[in-house]
Amino acid sequence: MKIAVIGLGYVGLPLARLFATKYPVIGFDINKKRVDELMSGHDHTLEVSDEDLKAVLSKAPLRGFGGLYCTDIIEDIKDCNVYVVTVPTPADKHNRPDLTPLKKASETIGKVISKGDIVIYESTVYPGATEEDCIPVVEAVSGLKFNRDFFAGYSPERINPGDKEHTIEKIKKVTSGSTPEIGRQIDELYRSVIIAGTHLAPAIKVAEAAKIIENCQRDINIAFVNELKKMFDRMDIDTHAVLEAAGTKWNFLRFRPGLVGGHCIGVDPYYLAQKAQDSGYFPEIILAGRRLNDSMGEYVGSQVVKKMILKGIPVKNSDILVMGITFKENCPDVRNTKVVEVIRSLKEYDTKIAIYDPWANPKEVQQEYGLDIVTQLPEEKFDAVVVAVVHKEFEGIDYALLLKENSVLYTLK
């Protein structure tokens, strides 16, 4: 067994590292900078510690009992017999699924795959994408016949970036294969490294659907409490106090209002919605949830301004500090962060915004959003402080030191 992991990001690297504790693994990524960074023993996403990475790294492709070698050269993965795909599955600006990275990765595999090999997709997709969109690319490029010359599987990733408790090996993994026998082989492969065990789904489509509904369910649940927040704000009722009281019932689901960003929960429902519409069904709850959650950035901005006006604080030219710009706490990922919507909304009132985030990379934030951030807590005082993301560093802060005498402190969580 020699495994290639295609796409060494938040999902691919922890998986490649884990497999490399038992099998020879080649990590392949088109981003040379990422490959060089990993080969130097560092992961800027902080999902794998330098110590754990260095413990499995090898200077050359291995044939023995483990080790990870990273590369951007296609020929290096030619000898592999299991190809695991962990490339991004984004949505375009019209919220339509963009399968370009998946198709490109399938082309790469088509160029190197041999008879008897297995391709396992891990990227989050709508049901049907593996067999209808990806495998035909592998077949066309390789000239091999699916389920005769080569086989496939789908095993969705459930990791939660920044979560050091639920790490990859401790999360039960759903597996599936293009035939019952391949399903069993793939399941065995994952079971050999995942301590929490596996669940072998009866078909690839079932595994694909299972993953996407996990994220849709979360999105809809958060949309519900966001709707409650908008309603209760108007009625002058404290939503958090309501949720705390309701949460004392054993079967009340404990979700909290907030921004839904990132490239998973805020994107995946569009994948399922697109597939549903292609099948002639217009999803109502899923898209309503998306609309509601996408409106929260603007809502938070307007609430801050409203509170400032009610306290008699001049909004134009006011100094506002936004704390946290990553899409979630204790993680450097700024992709699709909705904090930028809060900032956009506040800027519409000609406010002066400072952004403090000790986790985000200032260069990346500037490139992605054209915003400057600081990574040290500012020393001046502000007319309003918006705590958008509760990084652990924010817990001990004395907020009084950041606030002018007449000011607003708005916390999202």
Active site members: 264
In the bound state with ligand NAD, the residue whose beta carbon lies nearer, of 31 and 192, is 31
Q: What's the token pair of residue 131? A: 């067999």
Measured from the CB of residue 188, what is the shortest distance to ligand NAD in angstroms?
22
Q: Which region holds residue 128: left if phi is over 0, alpha if psi is between -120 and 50, else beta?
A: left
Cβ neighbours of residue 256 closer than 8 Å, sequence gap 6 or more = 222, 225, 240, 243, 413
- Give residue number: closest CB to ligand NAD: 9
In the bound state with ligand NAD, the residue whose beta carbon lies nearer, of 9 and 289, is 9
In the bound state with ligand NAD, the residue whose beta carbon lies nearer, of 171 and 313, is 171
Measured from the CB of residue 65, what is the shortest distance to ligand NAD in angstroms?
26
Within 47-197, where are the H helices? 50-56, 100-112, 135-142, 180-191
In the bound state with ligand NAD, the residue whose beta carbon lies nearer, of 86 and 142, is 86
Residue 103: exposure state from Cβ atoms within 10 A (0-12, 13-18, ≥19) = middle
Q: Which amino acid, residue 206?
A: V
Element (DSSP H or E) covering residue 360: none
Q: What's the token pair of residue 11? A: 């999902």
Measured from the CB of residue 243, what is the shortest distance to ligand NAD in angstroms?
25
Measured from the CB of residue 6, what is the shortest distance to ligand NAD in angstroms?
5
| 295 CB neighbour count, 10 Å cutoff | 16
Task: Check if the beta carbon of residue 102 is closer than 8 Å to that of residue 154.
Answer: no
Measured from the CB of residue 53, what is the shortest distance to ligand NAD in angstroms?
15
In the bound state with ligand NAD, the residue whose beta carbon lies nearer, of 271 and 394, is 271
Residues in contact with ligand NAD by the rule CB under 6 A: 6-12, 28-31, 34, 86-89, 101, 104-105, 108, 123-124, 157, 159, 161, 263-264
